[in-house]
């Protein structure tokens, strides 16, 4: 035991050491009192003063040998209960009730001559209580019980025999020694309990303060994060606007460079032809041919410009593969589960149709993730009566009132241009249904 204690001192903190001391001391004292009660009773019987002794008792006690045996078994049980590691609340509650009952009973069988076990139990409870308010409550309860147990209120109502009746068998010196030792242990036990409580409460205060600090830090960081998020959204909006402006400028430039140029040529050429047609019809004819060529060239240029607006993958890969690639990239970059099914023949679509389908799917996935916070998205493309039907549904929060800000108007516009239609439903997740009539190439 001594070796173990030494190890404990170095390894464990002060409150745990106080707890170990309290446990060992209570064990010894209770067992000692139980033995004392037993031995003095046999002494009294041997001395022949059983009648006088019994006349002091409020009622017959059990066989004297039972007291130390029961005390030993009870103490072992109590110590085991204290040492059981209590992890979940249920174990804590059951063990604490069992401990309280056992300690109360043990205190009863030694006739309340040592009440330190009650403090020991409460010291054990304290380890499992984290809230400061409960700590004070338990502390108050412990002291009330301790004071009641130490008062003489119980003596008469429970019919207890004071220890002094038992030790009156011994001579004055031994009596003095015994009662001195027991009261010393009791005082020491109370002192240890107080030390233990101070340390535990100090530790709890420190822990609480630490927690408060952490909370504050977390709050600050959270605020910062929110601000950054708002900034980011603003920036994103700006970027989108900038992109739009850039795109418009490019289109304007393109129109100006190609169509403007060509149309200017065409207008000028046609004006010239107007003049020439009566004077020199042959020249005019030749001129008209040139104009037609220029217009054709312009047409090619316009086509080239439009092509430049298309996503890159659609240029480089076949449409079906481009779609799969886009979806795979989404899955890889966002961890959203996307199931994709395609039963329609989409290998033979015109570019604008490909564009529309591509953009609808892309926009819907983005919407589901951004606004619907969905984790699962189902995409199916089917062919039906010369129509291509695209169904996209998700498990997100949906949207009770559908606002036309989620790129839906773009989708609708694009589809309208190709004679298709768009249906959306935000009641249970978000569902998009696009119908696109096929043109035969």
Q: Which is nearer to other proteins, 158 or 236 (CB)?
A: 158
Binding flag, residue 57, other proteins (CB under 8 A)? yes
Q: Which is nearer to other proteins, 1 or 60 (CB)?
A: 60
Find the part of the chain contacting other proteins (CB under 8 A) among 25-33, 53-61, 301-309, 328-336.
53-61
Binding flag, residue 53, other proteins (CB under 8 A)? yes
In the complex, the smallest distance separating the C-beta of residue 38 from other proteins, rounded to whole angstroms, is 11
Q: Which is nearer to other proteins, 90 or 441 (CB)?
A: 90
In the complex, the smallest distance separating the C-beta of residue 66 from other proteins, rounded to whole angstroms, is 6
Binding flag, residue 61, other proteins (CB under 8 A)? yes
Q: Which is nearer to other proteins, 80 or 309 (CB)?
A: 80
Question: Which residue's structure tokens are 């060992």?
Answer: 24
Q: Name which position in 10, 55, 278, 333 contacts other proteins (CB under 8 A).
A: 55
Helix axes 281-308, 261-279, angle to 10 degrees: 170
Q: Name which position in 9, 28, 50, 309 contacts other proteins (CB under 8 A).
A: 50
CA-closest candidate to residue 388, choices 336, 330, 334, 346: 346
Give every strand in the sheet of 431-437, ordered side by side.
337-342, 376-384, 387-394, 431-437, 421-425
The 68-107 contact track toward other proteins, x by CB under 8 A, reads -xx--xx-xx--xx-xxx------------x---------
3-state helix, strand, coil in the chain (%, to 5): 70, 10, 20
Find the part of the chain contacting other proteins (CB under 8 A) among 49-57, 200-208, 237-245, 433-441.
49-57
Find the part of the chain contacting other proteins (CB under 8 A) among 54-62, 269-277, 339-347, 361-369.
54-62
* Spatial separation of the C-alpha atoms in residues 243 and 433, rounded to whole Å: 28
* Spatial separation of the C-alpha atoms in residues 277 and 287, rounded to whole Å: 10
DSSP-derived secondary structure letter, 438: P
In the complex, the smallest distance separating the C-beta of residue 50 from other proteins, rounded to whole angstroms, is 4
Find the part of the chain contacting other proteins (CB under 8 A) among 61-69, 328-336, 339-347, 383-391.
61-69
Q: Which is nearer to other proteins, 39 or 314 (CB)?
A: 39
* Spatial separation of the C-alpha atoms in residues 359 and 166, rounded to whole Å: 97
- On the 0-12 / 13-18 / 19+ scale of CB atoms within 10 A, 70 is middle
Distance of CA 315 to the CA centre of its chain: 45
CB 436 within 8 A of CB 412: no
In the complex, the smallest distance separating the C-beta of residue 169 from other proteins, rounded to whole angstroms, is 12
At 387 the three-state DSSP class reads strand
Q: Name which position in 64, 68, 298, 426 contacts other proteins (CB under 8 A).
A: 64
b/e for 96-134, b at 16 or more Cβ within 10 A? beebbebbeebbebbbbbbbbbbbbbbbbbbebbeeeee
Binding flag, residue 66, other proteins (CB under 8 A)? yes
Residue 382, strand partner residues: 389
Find the part of the chain contacting other proteins (CB under 8 A) among 51-59, 166-174, 293-301, 326-334.
51-59
Write out the H or E segment, with its range, that includes residue 214.
helix 172-254
* Spatial separation of the C-alpha atoms in residues 133 and 439, rounded to whole Å: 76
Q: Which is nearer to other proteins, 45 or 308 (CB)?
A: 45
The most distant pair of C-alpha atoms in the chain lies apart, rounded to whole Å, by: 162
Binding flag, residue 157, other proteins (CB under 8 A)? no
The two tokens of residue 105 are: 């009973």
Binding flag, residue 161, other proteins (CB under 8 A)? no
Binding flag, residue 263, other proteins (CB under 8 A)? no
Q: Name which position in 41, 107, 258, 364 contacts other proteins (CB under 8 A).
A: 41
DSSP-derived secondary structure letter, 259: I
Spatial neighbors of 32 by CB under 8 A, at least 6 apart, are 182
Binding flag, residue 62, other proteins (CB under 8 A)? yes
In the complex, the smallest distance separating the C-beta of residue 76 from other proteins, rounded to whole angstroms, is 6
Where in 294-353 is the site for other proteins (CB under 8 A)?
Answer: none
Q: Which is nearer to other proteins, 81 or 291 (CB)?
A: 81
Binding flag, residue 153, other proteins (CB under 8 A)? no
Binding flag, residue 396, other proteins (CB under 8 A)? no
In the complex, the smallest distance separating the C-beta of residue 88 from other proteins, rounded to whole angstroms, is 12
DSSP assignments along 93-124, one per residue: HHHHHHHHHHHHHHHHHTTTS--HHHHHHHHH
Binding positions for other proteins, rule: CB under 8 A? 41-42, 44-45, 48, 50-51, 53-55, 57-64, 66, 69-70, 73-74, 76-77, 80-81, 83-85, 98
């Amino acid at each position: 035991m001594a070796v173990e204690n030494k190890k404990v001192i170095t390894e464990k903190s002060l409150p745990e050491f106080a707890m170990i001391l309290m446990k060992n001391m209570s064990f010894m004292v209770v067992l000692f009192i139980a033995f004392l009660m037993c031995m003095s009773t046999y002494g009294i019987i041997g001395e022949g003063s059983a009648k006088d002794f019994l006349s002091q008792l409020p009622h017959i006690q059990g066989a004297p040998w039972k007291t130390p045996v029961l005390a030993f078994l009870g103490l072992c049980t109590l110590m085991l209960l204290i040492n059981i590691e209590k992890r979940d609340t249920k174990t804590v509650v059951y063990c604490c009730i069992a401990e309280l009952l056992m300690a109360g009973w043990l205190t009863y069988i030694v006739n309340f001559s040592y009440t330190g076990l009650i403090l020991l139990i409460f010291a054990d409870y304290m380890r499992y209580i984290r809230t400061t308010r409960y700590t004070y409550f338990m502390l108050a309860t412990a002291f009330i019980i301790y004071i009641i147990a130490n008062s003489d209120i119980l003596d008469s109502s429970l019919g207890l025999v004071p220890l002094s009746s038992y030790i009156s068998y011994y001579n004055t010196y031994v009596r003095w020694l015994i009662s001195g030792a027991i009261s010393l242990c009791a005082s020491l036990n109370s002192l240890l309990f107080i030390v233990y409580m101070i340390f535990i409460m100090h530790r709890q205060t420190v822990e609480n303060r630490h927690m408060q600090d952490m909370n504050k830090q977390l709050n600050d960081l959270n605020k910062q994060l929110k601000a950054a998020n708002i900034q980011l959204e603003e920036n994103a909006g700006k970027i989108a606007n900038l992109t739009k402006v850039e795109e418009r400028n490019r289109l304007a430039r393109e129109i100006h460079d190609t169509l403007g140029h060509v149309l200017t040529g065409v207008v000028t050429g046609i004006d010239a032809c107007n003049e020439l047609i009566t004077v020199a019809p042959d020249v005019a004819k030749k001129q008209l041919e040139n104009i037609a060529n220029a217009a054709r060239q312009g047409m090619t240029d316009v086509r080239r410009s439009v092509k430049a607006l298309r996503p890159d993958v659609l240029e480089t890969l076949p449409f079906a593969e481009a779609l799969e690639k886009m979806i795979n990239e989404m899955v890889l970059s966002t961890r959203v589960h996307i199931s994709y099914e395609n039963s329609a023949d989409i290998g033979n679509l015109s570019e604008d149709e490909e564009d529309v389908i591509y953009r609808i799917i892309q926009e819907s996935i983005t919407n589901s993730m951004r606004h619907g916070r969905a984790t699962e998205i189902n995409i199916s493309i089917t062919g039906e009566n010369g129509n291509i039907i695209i169904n996209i549904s998700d498990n997100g929060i949906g949207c009770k009132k559908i606002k036309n800000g989620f790129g839906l108007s773009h989708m609708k516009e694009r589809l309208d241009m190709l004679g298709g239609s768009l249906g959306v439903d935000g009641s249970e997740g978000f569902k998009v249904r696009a119908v696109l009539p096929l043109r035969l190439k």
